[in-house]
Chains A and B, each alone.
Chain A
Amino acid sequence: MTALFIILVLVFILIAIWQMVKIFDLAQAGLPENDQVATEKDNTINAYLMMGFLAFIYIITIVCIVKWGDLPLLSNSASAHGPEVDNLMIISLVLIFVVQTITQFLLHYFAFKYKGQKGRKALFFADNNTLEAIWTIIPVITLAGLIIYGLFTWTSIMNVSEDDDPIVVELYAQQFNWKARYSGADNTLGKANVRLIDIDKANILGLDESDPNAQDDIITSELHLPVGKPVLFKMRSQDVLHSAYMPHFRAQMNCVPGMVTQFGFTPTITTAEMRQNPDMIDKVKHINEIRVENSKDLVAKGEDALDAYEFDYLLLCNKICGKSHYNMQMKIIVETQEEYDAWIKEQKIFKNSLVKN
């Protein structure tokens, strides 16, 4: 690959230099003064190139939409508020697409149509209040619509109410991994502060050992969520900023040292169901083809082949947090209530996880 790349680079440099030399030669050939100003021929050539460029913009748009527009993340949300966000996203994207198509057309087409020609006189057209009013008012109305829709969505996402009786889960970030803390039977997280961290006793999240609410808390390195039940995440970080990004759930919130931030949602599709989703099956199949292909190279080099990929929801770190930021992740498993209950029963509660000395 590197070799190929170097060759590519050299070829381009050579072409570039050759072009430059040739053109400079041509340009020096006793042309009239002021010959570096566009001539009618230049105008015509560049005008056609403008139309070509318009076509290029349209083509790259279509290629991107066809090839990458249906990456399942965009279409398969797995949280209760997801479809609402996606809906707004799609409305915005369609709007953008329409405006983009029209304005780029006008820009490039005018550049083509009104290319400079001898004898053409430009129209002295300096002002027109009606026109300007029109293109002030149209954006105002469209944007007003988007703002109102957006604000309703935002408010409904961000206002998690305690009435829904959510399960409270703490997401705890540190360079460079995630922990989850469940509140246990009392559904109340125990008090915690990084100053109380005691590595020797395995009190890694700094829970207050004397707080009764903390005793039954459960600390895990995998995030399990029961389907259909609202969760309220309380985020903490022990060192630098991190961001808990759960793209499948359209969820993200920074973890800020010194304060607790929060975000809530209701997962609606279990991991098992998502794996059965036809779009997801396609995506996974495609990814595995790529992995098989890549494995061939690796094996040829004497390394291990890549594992087959199986779909899982993920929590990614999405705020630069240092060297291994790129590998700070946690698996999320959405399951039925029974599976969840069974899983949580197996986990050690805080009281029992402490090392006694």
Chain B
Amino acid sequence: MSAHADTHVHDDDHGHHHEPTFITKYIFSTDHKMISKQYLITGVFMGIIGILMSIMFRMQIAWPEEPNVLFEALLGKWAPDGVMDADIYLALVTIHGTIMVFFVLTAGLSGTFSNLLIPLQIGARDMASGFLNMVSYWLFFVSCIIMIFSLFVEAGPAAAGWTIYPPLSALPMASSGSGMGMTLWLVSMAIFIASQLIGGLNYVVTVLNLRTKGMSMTRLPLTIWAFFVTAIIGLVSFPVLLSAALLLIMDRSFGTSFFLSDIFIQGEVLHYQGGSPVLFEHLFWFLGHPEVYIVILPAMGLVSEIMAANSRKPIFGYRAMIASILAIAFLSTIVWGHHMFVSGMNPFLGSVFTFTTLLIAIPSAVKAFNWITTIWKGNIQMNTAMLFSIGFVSTFITGGLTGIILGDSALDINVHDTYFVIAHFHLVMGISALYGMFAGVYHWYPKMFGRMMNKNLGYIHFWVTAVCAYGVFFPMHFIGMAGLPRRYYTNSNFPLFDDLADVNKVITIFAIVGGIFQIVFLYNFFISIFYGKKATANPWRSTTLEWTTPVEHIHGNWPGELPVVYRWAYDYSKPGHDVDFVPQNIPLKEGEEELQH
């Protein structure tokens, strides 16, 4: 590893000996900055598909069984005369969930920013293994292709929900999506997991080994702490999902009975004996819950960094922030059972999981208060990234608070699997992490592309998105409390829910408007790559090392020696300095004390 770094130093002495070709530069690149852009663009592309799907199934809920040109155009045989079929509704929900959670907010978010920022912020020339890093991206790419391909198979894509509980997911006769569609889903996810494991290993090793001189663990920016801990959680929990997927493949194709027992379907008894679907639920959620932290922690890291830089203030309670990341990481692995209160597991276990779940609220609360204190008495620069960061804290609080209800087993009985859950997790995880990702893109765009995004388009994008996000997900709490189950193709068979039709229309209209305004972002993003204003080296006047590299990307990141670090990442508005930020590579003045936080 260090040899790798050394060759680059050496390289710079006498120019490049091997000019990168188009292929090694843009396609099979081992440069972390290029890989990060590849992750981002793939993630954005998958995000477009995911959001389009959510708009389609929301339209079905609002105007059930009405012909719709959009369906006719996009769903083809699944929407005869433009009326959506019930199977494809479930497939859309399933693939939407899978794409959003895994492809956009795990790979797209973590992949982009871990790759971009880990080497740049710790002062390394590249990832520990550039080659593995490239492999990780291409595995991710292949898994995306397979997932998209599964949309076109004859019997339809997987339609058992993103949680793919067997037996529904195991038996093609139970659901048409459980044939080829589910096989592809499982293969795609297995490859995806391999990609995440390779990527995660690389991040962990890089953070541990390649920090530049002076960059102790307690001087790391919180972004790096977040990526580091996220990678560790992923390494602990993804293998469990992988084994669940493998066992499910065995049950499906090789006649084993890990998850199946005593099944009578379509007039015949199947041979399965002795397995339990509850076992699958345990395995799934052993990843599934940590997964939501894999999604949210990197966003928290980005937001902490952006909030400090734009408030021109140190992040409040740096140590407490690290401690709470660690506490969340630890607790996140022992709360999975809160998804299973009514699964038939022993009620005593339910009590244990209620306890651990409500515990995890404590570090989360600490983080929220620390962010609020960070902006208190600041000098807040309302850049788009900052707006999204404030939006993040807002939706994280709104969504997080209802976790108190869902985590309480006695209360979960009645709201489990209703729209209350949809409201909760979209706000606390989906929208928050998406905001974190947007914030990251707006903030580090100049670092990625050497140009600035247009700020006014950014403002429009933020404010419309912010209003629509609340408009979509806030009312969902109420239809959930009124008992409306999720994953229903239509509610028209329940006159009991007729009075919810109005709310459902309002929600859908907010969703459509919000979805359409993402075009503003896409336009801004893609146009600015070519026509944006040229960026200056440190446009946000920030303290971290990535802003000490040249605007034009070079292999090895810094032209000369690696920077040396003398202080923590948050010397904003420090008394005794003329400017309101002191980068990490500036030595302490005589008599200046490094803050012992």
A and B pair up: yes
Residue of A nearest to B359 (CB): A143
Interface of A is mostly: helix
Q: Mark B386-429, 1 if CB is under 8 A from A, else 0.
A: 11001001100110011011001111011011100000000000
Q: Mark A306-334, 1 if CB is under 8 A from B, else 0.
A: 11010100101111111111110100000
Q: Confirm or deny: A51 has a beta carbon within 8 angstroms of a beta carbon on chain B.
A: no
Given A12-B516, A108-B394, residue A121 in contact with residue B175 (CB < 8 A)? no
With beta carbons under 8 angstroms apart, the residue of B175, B347, B418, B527 that contacts A159 is B347
B410 touches A153 (CB 8 A): yes
Q: Mark A46-79, 1 if CB is under 8 A from B, else 0.
A: 1101100100110011001001110101100000
Q: How many residues of B contact A (CB 8 A)?
A: 151
Contacts of A47 in B (CB 8 A): 380, 382
Within 8 A of A (CB), among B342-399: 342-344, 347, 350-351, 354-355, 358-359, 361-362, 365-366, 368-373, 375-383, 386-387, 390, 393-394, 397-398
Given A116-B379, A316-B485, residue A53 in contact with residue B418 (CB < 8 A)? no
Contacts of B318 in A (CB 8 A): 126-127
Q: Confirm or deny: A247 has a beta carbon within 8 angstroms of a beta carbon on chain B.
A: yes
With beta carbons under 8 angstroms apart, the residue of B311, B342, B498 that contacts A287 is B498
Closest Cβ–Cβ distance, residue A71 to chain B (whole Å): 4
Given A106-B372, A124-B573, A318-B418, residue A116 in contact with residue B344 (CB < 8 A)? no
Closest Cβ–Cβ distance, residue A320 to chain B (whole Å): 5
* Distance A47 CA – B404 CA, assembled complex (angstroms): 31
A122 touches B573 (CB 8 A): yes
Contacts of A42 in B (CB 8 A): 382, 455, 459
Contacts of B559 in A (CB 8 A): none
* Distance A50 CA – B456 CA, assembled complex (angstroms): 16
A127 touches B316 (CB 8 A): yes
Closest Cβ–Cβ distance, residue B555 to chain A (whole Å): 27
* Distance A319 CA – B339 CA, assembled complex (angstroms): 12
A88 touches B499 (CB 8 A): no
Contacts of B167 in A (CB 8 A): 239-241, 257
- A interface residue count range (under 10 / 10 to 19 / 20 to 34 / 35 or more): 35 or more
* Distance A323 CA – B411 CA, assembled complex (angstroms): 29
Q: Confirm or deny: A100 has a beta carbon within 8 angstroms of a beta carbon on chain B.
A: yes
B405 touches A89 (CB 8 A): yes
Q: Confirm or deny: A35 has a beta carbon within 8 angstroms of a beta carbon on chain B.
A: yes
With beta carbons under 8 angstroms apart, the residue of B319, B414, B500, B572 that contacts A247 is B414
Within 8 A of B (CB), among A75-99: 84-85, 88-89, 92-93, 95-96, 99
Residue of B nearest to A82 (CB): B414
Stretch from B103-111, B216-224, B261-269, B288-296 forming part of the interface with A? B261-269
A6 touches B69 (CB 8 A): yes
A241 touches B265 (CB 8 A): no
Contacts of B135 in A (CB 8 A): none
Residue of A nearest to B516 (CB): A12
Residue of A nearest to B365 (CB): A139
Q: Confirm or deny: B92 has a beta carbon within 8 angstroms of a beta carbon on chain A.
A: no
B394 touches A241 (CB 8 A): no
Stretch from A130-138, A214-222, A224-232, A343-351 forming part of the interface with B? A130-138
Contacts of A150 in B (CB 8 A): 354, 358, 408-411
* Distance A317 CA – B486 CA, assembled complex (angstroms): 10
Closest Cβ–Cβ distance, residue A20 to chain B (whole Å): 6
Candidate in A57, A150, A197 with the most chain B CB atoms within 10 angstroms: A150
* Distance A316 CA – B488 CA, assembled complex (angstroms): 11
A38 touches B69 (CB 8 A): no
Q: Confirm or deny: A155 has a beta carbon within 8 angstroms of a beta carbon on chain B.
A: yes
Q: Confirm or deny: A336 has a beta carbon within 8 angstroms of a beta carbon on chain B.
A: no
A100 touches B401 (CB 8 A): yes
Candidate in B370, B379, B383, B572 with the most chain A CB atoms within 10 angstroms: B379
Q: Confirm or deny: B214 has a beta carbon within 8 angstroms of a beta carbon on chain A.
A: no
Closest Cβ–Cβ distance, residue B171 to chain A (whole Å): 7
B516 touches A252 (CB 8 A): no
Contacts of B402 in A (CB 8 A): 96
Contacts of B491 in A (CB 8 A): 326
Given A12-B513, A85-B413, A197-B264, residue A254 in contact with residue B343 (CB < 8 A)? yes
A36 touches B533 (CB 8 A): yes
B498 touches A329 (CB 8 A): no
* Distance A46 CA – B380 CA, assembled complex (angstroms): 10
Q: Confirm or deny: B313 has a beta carbon within 8 angstroms of a beta carbon on chain A.
A: yes
* Distance A193 CA – B540 CA, assembled complex (angstroms): 68
With beta carbons under 8 angstroms apart, the residue of B387, B394, B416, B580 that contacts A46 is B387
Closest Cβ–Cβ distance, residue B92 to chain A (whole Å): 13
* Distance A42 CA – B595 CA, assembled complex (angstroms): 33
Q: Confirm or deny: A356 has a beta carbon within 8 angstroms of a beta carbon on chain B.
A: no
B493 touches A326 (CB 8 A): yes
Q: Confirm or deny: A355 has a beta carbon within 8 angstroms of a beta carbon on chain B.
A: no
A329 touches B493 (CB 8 A): yes
Contacts of B487 in A (CB 8 A): 320, 325-326
Given A2-B63, A124-B313, A326-B488, residue A194 in contact with residue B481 (CB < 8 A)? no
Can you list the 4 inter-chain pairs with the closest CB atoms, starting with the nearest?
Answer: A258-B261, A261-B344, A36-B452, A247-B483
A and B contact pairs by CB, cutoff 8 A, 9 listed: A20-B523, A24-B454, A60-B474, A104-B394, A117-B379, A154-B351, A175-B265, A240-B171, A291-B495
Interface residues of A (CB under 8 A from B): 1-2, 5-6, 8-9, 12-13, 16, 19-20, 23-24, 26-27, 33-38, 42-43, 45-47, 49-50, 53, 56-57, 60-61, 64, 67-69, 71, 73-74, 84-85, 88-89, 92-93, 95-96, 99-100, 103-104, 106-108, 110-111, 114-117, 120-128, 131-132, 135-136, 139-140, 143, 146-147, 150-151, 153-155, 157-159, 174-175, 193-195, 197, 199, 206, 235, 238-241, 243, 245, 247-248, 250-254, 256-259, 261, 283, 286-287, 290-291, 294, 306-307, 309, 311, 314, 316-327, 329
List 9 extra interface pairs beyond A12-B516, A68-B503, CB under 8 A. Answer: A19-B460, A68-B478, A73-B482, A104-B394, A132-B370, A155-B351, A291-B495, A309-B496, A317-B485
